Structure 1
Amino acid sequence: MLQLGDEVTLYSLVLVVVLLGTRSPVWSAVLTASLYFFLAMFRFPQVTTSRARQVLHPDSRAVGSGKVSVIAHRGGGHDAPENTIAAIREASKNGATGVELDLEFSADGVPILMHDETVDRTTNGSGRLSQIKFSELRKLDAAAKHRLRNKFEGEKIPTLQEAVEECIRLQLTIYFDVKGHPDQAAAALKDLYQKYPVLYNSSIVCSFEPKVIYRMRQSDPEVVTALTHRPWSLSRLGDGVPRFSSAWKHHWVTLMDIMLDWAHHHVLWRLCGVSAFLVQKNFVSQDYIQYWAQRGVELVVWTTNTKVEKAYYQELLHISYITDSLVEDCEPHY
């Protein structure tokens, strides 16, 4: 990952690149100045450090120490059907600090918990969410494909509000993972924050899509937010295998990956004013933690699923992590 330093380095690099491309000192200065004023005018400030820390390091009966938060991925999808009330309750019972929950919408616009755009992988139904009304989704068994389906048989797909109310009752921090629908998601979440003000100090909105986070800050600048990032995500799958067999396409998308990585580390986090950066575990080091700490940004890693990994992040690096299971070693969900 590119780690080029402070704002002086950023604007100097932009100036040099544009100068090499245009051979015009005037245009180089104009474009660099335009970037500076764009960020100065349109970027959001981070929320206060004290409130961000309250969200990211709540006082609780967590598995780790008070410094390390343990977040159940999709509610802890290995221990119970993912993105369900049962998963939230299991995560709490097993000592999680909080839960990461995926926000999606039914065909009639009801905010629900679901990771995929279809119901095929996790339920006994089939079809795209965009074509299924909530009344029909409610009839599905959300435990149908889970390894513990007999224990959780009949578990329903919850609404976002139902999940939030359960998390508040159990005093769990919520990581709202928004896959898309920037305007729709921002509106739904803003309504929830207004209805349950406790969320300002007990939840964080995160997304792979910077537009989602920027729209959320526009909608409510008091919400704590985070960008989620996996380097080389455009050119490679989660296990590192190239997405494309064509060599030229792979190299072209790899170049886009480099540009996206640079933007995350030098423009997008600053523009959105995020308080945390959620990054895939394989790219974390002590230097990388320090890189973000110098910018007032907390690092959270995903998805950490073995005892050895958890001990490494908890006891050596002292950073919070997201896991599929609080009680077992398991394969990660990417």
Structure 2
Amino acid sequence: MLQLGDEVTLYSVVFVVVLLGTRSPVWTTVLTASLYLFLAVFRFPQLSANRARQVLHPARSTVGSGKVSVVAHRGGGYDAPENTIAAIREASKNGATGVELDVEFSADGVPILMHDDTVDRTTNGSGPLDQMTHSDLTKLDAAAKHRLWQKFPGEKIPTLEEAVKECIKLHLTIYFDVKGHPNEATAALKDLYKKYPVLYNSSIVCSFQPSVIYKMRQSDPEVVTALTHRPWSLSRLGDGTPYFSSSWKHFWFTLNDVLLDFAHHHVLWKLCGNSAFLIQKNFVSQDYVQYWAQRGVEVVAWTVNTKVEKEYYHKLLHVNYITDSLVEDCEPHY
């Protein structure tokens, strides 16, 4: 059951908002109590701290205070073609603790590694994934548009299982980033956990979509999970530029951002029973890390791309981070 001590803010805010909206103390009490009961009944408990620690701070983490894990974003998309076997191998060679990999699907339902819903940005092909079979995808060069394409000629788009097998072989922790397709992704990952039980202590499922994480915990409560979040993501680009020129649209989506942020920090993580929270690096501070630590949740920052930032996370915050490059500074990534 939920402990009331940490719920005062949540239920107080809900009570006040509903009271202002309904002007009815009875309905306000009923709806607030209903929220409490809903979370108490349908939430998933967090996994043990030891289980989470095995995944987030494996023995090969950087030696030192906190044992900070360094995770290669999309396999380390600056050092090698993103979301490829070459990237996984390069990340391992360059000292990564783990790799973050994007889960997507071909038109015929084969789980693959791809960040976008089209192949245009990273390959020599063109078109949406949902119109390309796995056979079509195997013909593409996944290194075609990478800055180091000459070093990785003819690199292929791997299946999710091919990538998992390579990570297991190299003893890399996997951060499965699920872009969408909650039902398909949950089924595919459940099969992989069943086939490769080592994943229970060497991987974590992450997503911007709470429905993905909730379905994953429904499917297999023993999987370590995390929500991914960037505050103001509905109304602004990563650099702060508004999405909309229309003032009323900007106001509406800003209001939705406030509600989404509140939900992430007070409701959704409890409902899903998350062990970690992946947050855009600009919002991480000592106080923020402490906020989550008091709730038994670890912070993982993304995307940390300069030496100065990395030293900050290593030496001051002792927080895991995700980076595009293990070997040099590169452009900010939001």
**Of 302-311 and 11-20, the range deviating more from structure 2:** 11-20
1:151-189 deviations in whole A, cap 9, x for unaligned? 001000000000000000000000000010000000000
Equivalent residue, structure 2, for 1:53: 53
In structure 2, stretches of 5+ residues that fail to align are: none
Equivalent residue, structure 1, for 2:16: 16
Residues 65 and 173 of structure 1, relative CA distance in 2, 3 Å threshold: farther
Work out the CA distance in 2 between the residues paired with 1:65 and 1:46.
Answer: 25
Equivalent residue, structure 2, for 1:307: 307
| Contact kept? 1:62, 1:95, Cα under 8 Å | no
Cα deviation, residue 252, structure 1: 0.7
Equivalent residue, structure 1, for 2:286: 286
| Contact kept? 2:61, 2:69, Cα under 8 Å | no
1:234-283 deviations in whole A, cap 9, x for unaligned? 00011211101111100110000000000000000000000000000001
Equivalent residue, structure 2, for 1:32: 32
In structure 1, stretches of 5+ residues that fail to align are: none
| Contact kept? 2:44, 2:217, Cα under 8 Å | yes
Q: What secondary structure, in the 3-state scheme, does the structure 2 residue paired with 1:176 have?
A: strand
| Contact kept? 1:60, 1:66, Cα under 8 Å | no
Work out the CA distance in 2 between the residues paired with 1:253 and 1:91.
Answer: 37
Aligned AA (2:72): A
Aligned AA (1:46): Q
Residues 65 and 91 of structure 1, relative CA distance in 2, 3 Å threshold: farther
| Contact kept? 1:59, 1:66, Cα under 8 Å | no
Matching of residue 139 in structure 1 with residue 139 in structure 2: yes
Work out the CA distance in 1 between the residues paired with 2:31 and 2:86.
Answer: 53
| Contact kept? 1:227, 1:278, Cα under 8 Å | yes
Equivalent residue, structure 2, for 1:234: 234
Work out the CA distance in 2 between the residues paired with 1:66 and 1:252.
Answer: 41
Aligned AA (1:146): H
Matching of residue 120 in structure 1 with residue 120 in structure 2: yes
Cα deviation, residue 15, structure 1: 1.1
Work out the CA distance in 1 between the residues paired with 2:172 and 2:279.
Answer: 21
Q: What secondary structure, in the 3-state scheme, does the structure 1 residue paired with 2:322 have?
A: strand
Equivalent residue, structure 2, for 1:88: 88
- Cα RMSD after superposing both structures: 1.1
Work out the CA distance in 1 between the residues paired with 2:252 and 2:107.
Answer: 36
Aligned AA (1:80): A
Work out the CA distance in 2 between the residues paired with 1:142 and 1:35.
Answer: 47
Corresponding pairs, count: 330
| Contact kept? 2:175, 2:204, Cα under 8 Å | yes
1:16-36 deviations in whole A, cap 9, x for unaligned? 211111111110100000000
Cα deviation, residue 221, structure 1: 0.5
